[in-house]
Amino acid sequence: MSTSEKPAGVELAGDMSWCGWGRPELKTALPEAARALLEQALGIGRLDTPAVPLEAVRVGPSRLSEEARAALTAVVGAEHVLVDRDARIRHTRGRSTVDLLRLRGGDADSAPDAVVLPAGHEEVLAVLRACAAHAVAVVPFGGGTSVVGGLELLRDGLQAVISLDLRRLDAVVAVDPVSLTAALQPGLRAPRAEELLAAQGLTLGHFPQSFEHASIGGFAATRSAGQASSGYGRFDDMVLALRVATPEGSLELGRAPASAAGPDLRQLFVGSEGVLGVITELTLRVHRTPEVRLYEGWRFPSFESGITAVRRLVQEDASPTVIRLSDESETAVNRALESAAADGAEGGCDVIAGFEGSNATVTAARTLATAILTSKGGTPTGTEPGEAWLHARYRAPYLRDALLDVGVFAETLETATSWSKLAELHRQVRTALERELTWEGRPPLVLCHVSHVYPTGASLYFTVVAALAEDPIAQWSRAKQVASDAIVACGATITHHHAVGIDHRDWMTAEIGALGVEILRAVKQRVDPRGILNPGKLIPDPE
């Protein structure tokens, strides 16, 4: 049992690679043993597929008119209206595999016409009004980590499109240690937020895989769920108050811990992906920094037995802060790549359980969880697997870049459903992906884990690894279509925490109904009548 002042893996992050995930200096080549294993599993020959040089990337001329540029300059200053090639490329798209394939191939034709960096609520408000007056689309940009097309720069009939980079809104506005709340600006990156809060003995407790680069505003705009959601809750659970700028004015939402003053309008903007407004300040629930963090591993005979055990944990109020259950395929691949099965054990499914809090609460929680996991057939594997996962939990996206370098496609998708439907959802999505992506008799690797649990159900997070096809973008588009159709057919949600963006927009009618879509469209018309805010995302087009 060890103590720590801040979560393992917390590092301050700068800009990401222009065509990959994370900081360029942390990129690593795929180990030879792992490459040989994948070549054998996928039935592919040796192939090197590096990205084009940055200087070879195609970028069209800026379409921003002189009048629009002058109006924006009057608001934020000339030094904060960027039209140079490098800034525009680095604000093109998010970080889905499709986004990266286009950038790696030299395609930045959809780059923003300018990158605008406001420095406060009033400047954001003025930028939105200037853009509405000059027919300029606005795509808010936090950490650039969207994997669902949320940063696709669509003009949608407008004269130009800007990327509204919120990095200058990066302050901790106020901390209330009595109420355990903190007011933060949206451009604050997660590692910096944790560093500033840790200095006061506090933490948000929100650590998604995108943590190193994601922003506080992005967490709210996409209904993010961190890896410790079982203990600290989803990000939308943490939002107490919001300040929002729209082309039609400002909103101040949230006055107390709870209210009966009509529908909660905060929920219109939490998860709205910049389509309805730009969040400029958030008041969030925070926690005292835990005295102890203890992470350990467990093994179960099967995915179904693991699901039963995890369900019992959460339904008996015994869930650890982190609980993560890999299916048989993910377990086997993880062990093969990491040589984790040093004890010679084969088969089964691995579980990571993490406990955070005071010595007393961690001891009590661990004792109760151990009793339940053991009673359901679990075998403890010690703290080494848990500590290894904790210290490497932000590194998986870097592996995707290494795979793309050697002709291997890797992408993820996620969903959630009730416990009674979870096993069938797992089978249907897996079957759909394998059927669509099987190549010359060799199926892809389809891996899955449960990482967010609730009394009534849980999420499923799939990772797909396949040989790059001649047209990998079309390859994934077809696979995503059949997987999404399977998700909807099973009655599950189209997205648990990746948000909607473009990728899930066509399934929104199935998610909330035609009337629900009309309600969103009506709100959009009221707060953004010119349609400048992140066009083409979240809300399906009228039929």
pLDDT in tens, 457-500: 999 999 999 999 999 999 999 999 999 999 999 999 999 999 99
Over residues 399-453, the pLDDT tens digits come to 999 999 999 999 999 999 999 999 999 999 999 999 999 977 788 999 999 999 9
Q: Count the neighbouring beta carbons within 10 Å of the beta carbon of residue 524.
A: 18
Evaluate the CA torsion angle 235, 237, 241, 243 in order and state its sign: positive
φ, ψ at 436 (rounded to 5°)? -75, -35
Half-sphere exposure in the Cβ direction for 4 (13 Å, CA): 19
Identify which of 21-25, 29-33, 426-430 has the greatest average pLDDT. 426-430
Pairing of strands 408-418, 457-467: antiparallel
State whether residue 539 is helix, strand or coil: coil
- At 14 the pLDDT is 55
Strands 136-141 and 114-116: unpaired
What is the chain's mean pLDDT, rounded? 94
Looking at residue 345, its pLDDT comes to: 54
pLDDT of residue 343: 44
Tens of pLDDT, residues 268-281? 999 999 999 999 99
Token pair recorded at residue 261:
């003053």
Give the residue with greater pLDDT, 6 vs 167. 167
- What is the rounded CA–CA span in Å between residue 494 and residue 443? 24
What SS3 state is found at 298? strand
CB–CB of 151/227 below 8 Å?
no
Predicted confidence (pLDDT) at residue 6 exceeds the cutoff of 60: no
Q: Residue 344's pLDDT band (boundaries 50, 70, 90)?
A: very low
List pLDDT tens digits, range 112-123.
999 999 999 999
The domains of the chain are located at 290-392
Beta carbons of 531 and 135 less than 8 angstroms apart: no
Half-sphere exposure of 122 (CA within 13 A, CB side): 2
Alpha-carbon distance values, 92 to 11, 161, 294, 513 (Å): 25, 11, 40, 32
CA distance 271 to 69: 30
Alpha-helical regions (H) of 114-252: 121-133, 190-198, 216-221, 229-232, 235-238
Residue 336 has pLDDT above 90, yes or no: no
Q: Which of 23-37, 362-376, 501-515, 527-541 has the lowest mean pLDDT?
A: 23-37
Question: What's the whole-model pTM score?
Answer: 0.94
Give me the mean pLDDT over the 83-109 stretch: 96
- Residue 384, SS3 per DSSP: helix
| pLDDT value, residue 45 | 85
**What CATH number is given for 290-392 in this structure?**
3.30.70.3450
Contact of 281 with 257, CB cutoff 8 Å? no
CA atoms of 215 and 202, how far apart (whole Å): 18
Both tokens assigned to 184: 């933060």
pLDDT at 536: 97
Instruction: Identify the residue with better confidence: 6 or 152.
Output: 152
Whole-angstrom Cα distance, residue 126 to residue 249? 10
The tokens describing 316, both together, are 């008996």
What is the pLDDT, as a whole number, of residue 258? 94
Find the mean pLDDT for residues 35-55.
Answer: 90
Q: Other C-beta atoms within 10 Å of 277: how many?
A: 28
Amino acid at 269: F
Percent of the chain with pLDDT strictly greater than 90: 88
pLDDT of residue 13: 41
Q: Is the dihedral of CA 151, 29, 391, 314 positive or negative?
A: positive
Confidence of residue 4 (pLDDT cuts 50, 70, 90): very low
Model confidence pLDDT, tens digit, residues 182-230: 999 999 999 999 999 999 999 999 999 999 999 999 999 999 999 999 9
